[in-house]
Structure 1
Amino acid sequence: MPSIHLHDELSQTKARVVVETRFGPVTGGRSKNGAVVFLELPYALAPERFKNPVALPPEFRYRNREYIAENSYAVQPSNDGQAADMKFEDKVGLGKPTENPLFLNIVIPPSFPEKTDFAVKIYIHGGFLQFGSPHSLGSQAQYVAAERSEVWVNIGYRLSAFGFLACDKPKIEGNFGFKDQWLALDWIHENISAFGGNPENIQITGLSAGAHSVHQLLHHASRLPPGVKAPFTSAVLQSNAIATSPKTPEQLRPQFAALSRALGLDPDAVDTLSILRDPSKTRWKSITELIDSESLGAHGTFRGCLDGAWLSNSPDPMTWQRTGGLARGLLEHGVRNVIVGDLSEEWYLYSIAHPIKQKHDVQQNLERYYPTDMVQDMIKIYWSLPDDVKAEEYERLFGVILATGQVHLPVRLLHRDLLQENYPTFRYTIKWTPEQVRPKGKAMWTFRIPDLTTPQLDIVRSWLDAVDQATQELEHQHLKRRDLKEVLTLQVNKKIEWAVDVGWDDAMKIRKLLPGEV
């Protein structure tokens, strides 16, 4: 079965569905399997560059048109090594770049509107926070929505510099992409019942950088004011988590300076920020082309910051998590359980994330994500290569180190920190993925019928059933308390079982390099 975009499916079907929202009626379509689909439904006002998102005001009204097209995706760089073998439109959709990607794609089971009160699954896409789109072909949810009778919502948010530039002088608050996501969660919680979803059964999920985002959202939710409930009830982190507290805006000042100078601006001039914010004076393409050129080096990757507002710094996030604050805060604010896991072959996608040709490239690119002194210590632990090896060996080493720091270690630490507080959680690992989509596993979670064979679909169905069963047991406090190293495992032989984590020691090699870990 060929894979085609929802955009094309909806244009080929005549069925239309109208839903009445608090912002007026909206019209969607039905995909070929009958799932009801709304594409690019705004959840916020068009954002101003490098400013916080603004919720739709009560008087806002949706435009009178059909929401069935992939018209846009977030402006972003193109130096995405992980997607080098993917058609660009399969990564971002069929539209054009925009600085306003604050929209949702909503997919509802075919039985709507006769049936409602479906569980809601929210998906936050990955891409190092630099790339991607809610339109990515592998995340389009018409198949899983129909198979599992769930409402699926994909979130669009700002990326790269547009989502994560931060500085103390001049003051740029940063974390705009995470704040976009939170505003989307608020919209979904308040409006999803009109689309057949149960607002008291909302699970946020994220892959790779999307899982990092979910971890950010969990920390934010855990420190909401007393009595305020989070706009979601559970979470799944797929192949990523936070290992260290982000840099502060002050520590990110050199990145702002590097960007400004590369654009021909004086970072200390009083009007530089206003020039950067003005699209008529600084085209978005001049920023993305600069990043693509790699002239910013390690400053070309834009991440979240420890601002004291979005993420509290008293105590810092990882101390808060390690000492039980995260677990207690999540329960207090209505987040009932958290599931976290990884794939056994994470290293490969990380090995191709950046150009790695020589030893120097390994350290330079690790410094996009970690402080220099920590990178040097990581290399000392892992480095076992002679000086004259081929580039492929450097690539693999880089992939192993980065996958450990970004995935294998932090997912285990998060699980450990929640479990020690008796918080409802479990961990999974996937050692088998369908050969034709390997090493990526997203097609499994979205039950992508066009991408999988019938025997593979049977395995995937069993895997999703096993995860759902374990989650339900968590919900009802019937899941047997498992040892820290016991994980729900999809084995290489395709058997699903609770098994001992054989990768624990390798993942823990660099644990003591993290602040507060002893």
Structure 2
Amino acid sequence: CVQIIDTLFGDFPGSTMWNPNTPVSEDCLYMNVVVPRPRPKQAAVMVWIFGGGFYSGTSTLDVYDHRTLVAEENVILVSMQYRVASLGFLYFDTAEVPGNAGLFDQMMALQWVHDNIAAFGGNPRNVTLFGESAGAVSVSLHLLSPLSRNLFSQAIMQSGSPTAPWAIISRDESILRGLRLAEAMGCPHNRSEIAEATECLRRMNASDLVENEWGTLGICEFPFVPIVDGTFLDDHPHRSLATKNFKKTNILMGSNTEEGYFFIFYHLTELFRNEENVYVNRDEFLQAVRE
């Protein structure tokens, strides 16, 4: 789906590995269904939701290669695309821009799996939803959502939760960010001009929209993310957890030590220059890695 492309570190594989490896387009709501051979009967199903801060990501990255898991574990693996950035999470509190479009994309994919995976040899009553980072947040929100919680069986959340400080913003903040985007695009941007702002943004090139989203945000703040819309989410995650308003099932959660370092490189670029002389030779570098 349409998203910003990371060019900060040039062709460094550690950053380009996360860029889309298929054509970027608004025509992007596709799914992958990978089935082992021979075709199983009543196989367990795993549904992957990619991460990317809700502003980027795709299910087709090499690092997400489905084949090993399918071949080794004899499961069916499904992954989906969903809209990201302003195209997936813009919110103006109107029927035209109700917010959480990316989450509804995911829910549509889950409904398709529920209705059709048996034709591929899968068991619709044994579906594990799993994701990483924003994908893990998405999984957690499906556990909370009254609309989608019954479309899967259990969940795995890798480095993400519904209470992460970057995972959800208030409706007012989301509207404010949308109006800032409208201003950056030269559109009407007063609170009283939301209809005009919406119509103006619709005429804009989608790639230009995602390039102008960021404005002034801090570390681990992403421009357009889920909101409590009263439909997909009927309450704030903190309250839903406190009142036990969520799917009761098996859940596996985890995180990695110091995983937040990834974002420091992007927000403190003056400390991490793209190019500089390194005063160690290859042998010294390898020795340091071993130690």
Distance 1:87 1:198, change over 3 A: same
Residues in 1 aligned to 2:200 and 2:80: alpha-carbon distance in whole angstroms: 29
Distance 1:111 1:89, change over 3 A: farther
Matched, 1:152 2:152: no
Matched, 1:127 2:52: yes
Distance 1:229 1:290, change over 3 A: closer
Q: Which residue of 1 aligns with 2:223?
A: 301
Deviation at 1:95, TM superposition (A): 2.6
- Counterparts of 1:435-450 in structure 2, within 5 Å, are none
Comparing 139-148 and 80-89, the one that deviates more = 80-89
Aligned residues of 1:92 and 1:135 also touching (Cα < 8 A): no
Deviation at 1:83, TM superposition (A): 10
Q: Please give the per-residue CA displacement for 1:136-176, whole angstroms capped at 9, x wherever unaligned.
A: 11112111100000000111000111111112379621111
Match of 1:232 among 141, 152, 157: 152
Aligned residues of 1:169 and 1:250 also touching (Cα < 8 A): no
Residues in 2 aligned to 1:158 and 1:346: alpha-carbon distance in whole angstroms: 25
Matched, 1:252 2:174: yes
Give the TM-score normalised by structure 1. Answer: 0.47
Matched, 1:137 2:62: yes
Equivalent position amino acid for 1:194 in 2: A
Which structure would you say has the larger RCO, counting Cα contacts within 8 Å and 6 or more residues apart? 2
What are the ranges of 5 or more consecutive residues in structure 2 without an aligned counterpart?
Answer: 273-291
Matched, 1:349 2:262: yes
Matched, 1:261 2:183: yes
Deviation at 1:213, TM superposition (A): 0.7
Which structure would you say has the larger Rg? 1
- Secondary structure of the 2:97 match is coil
Residues in 1 aligned to 2:173 and 2:261: alpha-carbon distance in whole angstroms: 30
Q: Please give the per-residue CA displacement for 1:382-441, whole angstroms capped at 9, x wherever unaligned.
A: xxxxxxxxx36xxxxxxxxxxxxxxxxxxxxxxxxxxxxxxxxxxxxxxxxxxxxxxxxx
Equivalent position amino acid for 2:252 in 1: I
Aligned residues of 1:123 and 1:204 also touching (Cα < 8 A): yes
Residues in 1 aligned to 2:106 and 2:21: alpha-carbon distance in whole angstroms: 22
Give the TM-score normalised by structure 2. Answer: 0.82
Residues in 2 aligned to 1:263 and 1:118: alpha-carbon distance in whole angstroms: 49
Deviation at 1:130, TM superposition (A): 0.9
Aligned residues of 2:4 and 2:210 also touching (Cα < 8 A): yes
Distance 1:152 1:348, change over 3 A: same
Match of 1:311 among 229, 233, 241: 233
Residues in 2 aligned to 1:83 and 1:343: alpha-carbon distance in whole angstroms: 26
Distance 1:242 1:83, change over 3 A: farther
Aligned residues of 1:82 and 1:349 also touching (Cα < 8 A): no
Residues in 2 aligned to 1:163 and 1:229: alpha-carbon distance in whole angstroms: 20
Matched, 1:95 2:22: yes
Matched, 1:321 2:250: no
Deviation at 1:256, TM superposition (A): 1.4
- Counterparts of 1:2-401 in structure 2, within 5 Å, are 74-79=1-6, 85-86=12-13, 90-92=17-19, 94-112=21-39, 115-168=40-93, 172-220=97-145, 223-224=146-147, 230-243=150-163, 246-268=168-190, 269=193, 270-277=195-202, 281-291=203-213, 294=214, 296-298=215-217, 301-313=223-235, 316-326=236-246, 330-331=247-248, 336-352=249-265, 354-357=266-269, 391=271
What are the ranges of 5 or more consecutive residues in structure 1 without an aligned counterpart?
Answer: 1-73, 359-390, 393-518
Aligned residues of 2:188 and 2:200 also touching (Cα < 8 A): no
Aligned residues of 2:50 and 2:132 also touching (Cα < 8 A): yes
Aligned residues of 1:93 and 1:137 also touching (Cα < 8 A): no
Distance 1:83 1:198, change over 3 A: farther
Equivalent position amino acid for 2:22 in 1: G
Aligned residues of 1:203 and 1:233 also touching (Cα < 8 A): yes
Q: Please give the per-residue CA displacement for 1:92-147, whole angstroms capped at 9, x wherever unaligned.
A: 554311112211111111211xx321110011001111111010111121111000
Residues in 1 aligned to 2:229 and 2:41: alpha-carbon distance in whole angstroms: 40
Residues in 2 aligned to 1:321 and 1:246: alpha-carbon distance in whole angstroms: 15
Q: Which residue of 1 aligns with 2:277?
A: none
Distance 1:248 1:82, change over 3 A: farther
Q: Please give the per-residue CA displacement for 1:342-376, whole angstroms capped at 9, x wherever unaligned.
A: 11231322323x32257xxxxxxxxxxxxxxxxxx
Residues in 1 aligned to 2:21 and 2:177: alpha-carbon distance in whole angstroms: 32
Distance 1:256 1:127, change over 3 A: same
Deviation at 1:264, TM superposition (A): 0.7
Q: Which residue of 2 aligns with 1:496?
A: none
RMSD: 2.6
Aligned residues of 2:6 and 2:16 also touching (Cα < 8 A): no
Deviation at 1:324, TM superposition (A): 2.4
Aligned residues: 264
Aligned residues of 1:168 and 1:250 also touching (Cα < 8 A): no
